[in-house]
Amino acid sequence: MTAVKPVLDVYLELNIVLGLAALIWMAARVALTKTPMQYGFVAQLRALKALCLCVLISPVLAVGIGALAAQTSSNGTVAIGDIAVAAYLRGEIAMPATQFEALLNTRERWVEILLSGAYPLVSAALSLLAVMAVVYLLRAVRDGIAIRQTIQNSFLWRRSAKVDIRLSDRITVPFAVRGLFRRHVVLPSHLLDTPRELRFALAHELQHVRAGDVEWELGFELLRPLLFWNPAYIALKYQFDRLRELACDQSVVSRRGIDARDYTNCLLDYCAKTISRGSPRVLNVALVTGGKAKRVLRQRVLALTEAPSVQSTAPVVFLVLTLTFAAVLGLGAASVQQTEDWSHDRLMLSTVVNLERLEARNAGN
Amino acid sequence: MRHERPMRKKKTTNLLTEVELEFMNELWALGQGSVRDVLDRLPPERNLAYTSGATILRILDEKGFVESRKDGKTLIYTPLLEKDKYQARSLQNLSRTLFDDTPASLVARLVDDAGLSEADLEDIRALVERRLQNDSG
């Protein structure tokens, strides 16, 4: 159990930071609607990717923020627990010491309950989560195998330094995916019959490859078995899927001089084709993702017809946004970290608790 | 982006896609031909790009339905599979997937079709009788 506890702590902190990231993103979205970046989907996607990277490196950011606080602040900490103990010792929190200590150790107590297996209901819930995680893992493996088979049975059409373009007569919707060494864009072979649609599909999928979307999709889906239950993960993944397609459409239409109306018709045609087909749903970046993504498709069509075509964002705006994300997430990660057990303040609190207990025992006698 | 080396032969599904069948039909009619020969036989409204036609024939080559040889700078494609053999294969597949592997159901559906004329039915009768005589003889 002692070996599991640090892993569980890291996992819980990751989930809390992810929740914070989702809140930050929602706030940023509200703020962005009041700026010209409202229709800058490419910049928004880059900002979201920066935020997700900040989540991944949040332990490092927390160390940085902690070190910064140690140098600048008088009590030298940003951990909520330590701040609360200091405030309690200063008499700013009116509460019996035993009750305060119990409140302070809530997370530790819950972790112990989770690990002890003493409560059948908690154990059942944990088992259910584990089963769901295995199901998501198996789904990813199944889709991975299906994609691998599709690629193996496809025909290499063109090859560049980094990307293979392949034709397959077993798929109906174009998609981009990455293997261990190479990235693949797979197109239905019937597209050879319609050069205009072939051009749209190829431009779209190559843009995903260029933007690194296939790697991000892979990263998100590999984390799904661990984080599927967290609403923050679901919200961020939805935002990522949405912005990925909006940004890609915007780039394709503005960079390649493709007519937005023709392109939109092509998307709608493909959506109709995918609704009844059982294509792999994860690990790949498809031109359209069928009936389940109707809302995103609607947004894509509206964005293509209503949003201004080209949106450029100053690098300094992006930098400020990224630094803000990093600072807030670093602060959040540092504040939820477990407090140091044997700090001076903690010893003082422990002493007060012991005195309170002694007094209670004496009063009982 | 540059053209890749010739694709290696690959064992895949033994049925042709719609556009592949269209190309094979032209090659069966021609006996052999280049990309341009096949494209020239397609209806003008098809408006298929030369590169697309070349890719479709390359795929057929890789699938083993045709073979190619160089004639100067031009590739000449020759069908490796005869049309009647593919017809039989296609019907077997249809019988298996849509008619529960009972060819009689397939024939029954065909005979029930209102589109068949008296002459068509007579031809079918003659074919069946000839086949029965051959089997018994």
How does pLDDT run across B46-85, given as a tens digit for each residue? Answer: 888 899 999 999 999 998 999 999 989 899 999 999 999 9
pLDDT reported for residue A239:
92
**Domain end marker among B79, B104, B122:** B79
Same-domain check for residues B99 and B121: yes
In a domain, B29, yes or no: yes
A190 to B17: CB separation less than 8 angstroms, yes or no: yes
Same-domain check for residues B89 and B126: yes
A155 to B1: CB separation less than 8 angstroms, yes or no: no
pLDDT reported for residue A312:
63
Conformational region of residue A159, where left means phi above 0, alpha means psi within -120 to 50, and beta covers everything else:
beta
Q: Does B45 touch chain A if contact means CB atoms closer than 8 Å? A: no
pLDDT reported for residue B3:
43
Higher-scoring residue by pLDDT: A84, B98: B98
Same-domain check for residues A109 and A255: no
Chain B residue numbers touching A167 (CB-CB < 8 A): 55, 59
Percent of chain B with pLDDT over 90: 40
Same-domain check for residues B91 and B65: no
A192 to B52: CB separation less than 8 angstroms, yes or no: yes
* ipTM of predicted complex: 0.71
The structural domain count of chain B equals 2
Contact B2, A159 (CB under 8 A): yes
pLDDT reported for residue A107:
79
pLDDT reported for residue A338:
65
Same-domain check for residues B89 and B40: no
Each residue's pLDDT, cut to its tens digit, for chain A (365 residues) gives 567 777 888 888 899 999 999 999 999 889 888 877 778 888 889 999 999 999 998 888 888 877 777 777 656 667 777 777 777 777 777 777 777 777 877 777 887 787 777 788 888 888 999 999 999 999 999 999 999 999 998 999 999 988 999 999 888 889 999 988 899 999 998 888 888 888 889 999 999 999 999 999 999 999 999 999 999 999 999 999 989 988 998 888 887 677 888 888 887 777 666 655 556 666 666 766 654 556 777 777 777 776 665 556 667 777 888 888 888 888 888 777 766 567 777 788 788 888 888 888 887 66
Contact A84, A104 (CB under 8 A): yes
Rounded CA-CA distance A209/A243 in Å is 15
Domain region containing A306: 119-313
B19 to A167: CB separation less than 8 angstroms, yes or no: no
pLDDT reported for residue A299:
76
Q: Does B14 touch chain A if contact means CB atoms closer than 8 Å? A: no
Same-domain check for residues A326 and A304: no
A155 to B52: CB separation less than 8 angstroms, yes or no: no
Please name the residues between 48 and 87 in chain B that touch chain A, using a CB distance below 8 Å: 48-49, 52, 55-56, 58-59, 62
pLDDT reported for residue A131:
95
Residue written as token pair 């409560």: A119
Same-domain check for residues B67 and B39: yes
pLDDT reported for residue A309:
56
In a domain, A365, yes or no: no
The structural domain count of chain A equals 2
In a domain, A194, yes or no: yes
Same-domain check for residues B75 and B93: no
Alpha-carbon gap: B71 to the closest alpha carbon of chain A (Å): 23
A156 to B2: CB separation less than 8 angstroms, yes or no: no
Domain region containing B96: 83-136
Domain of B73: which CATH number? Answer: 1.10.10.10
Nearest CA in chain A to B19: A190
Confidence of residue B4 (pLDDT cuts 50, 70, 90): very low
Query: Average pLDDT of B118-131?
Result: 86
pLDDT reported for residue B137:
60
Alpha-carbon gap: B4 to the closest alpha carbon of chain A (Å): 6
Distances (CA, A) of A111 to A10, A127, A131, A182, B60: 12, 16, 20, 42, 62
Chain A residue numbers touching B17 (CB-CB < 8 A): 169, 189-190
A192 to B19: CB separation less than 8 angstroms, yes or no: yes
In a domain, A4, yes or no: yes
Same-domain check for residues B38 and B74: yes
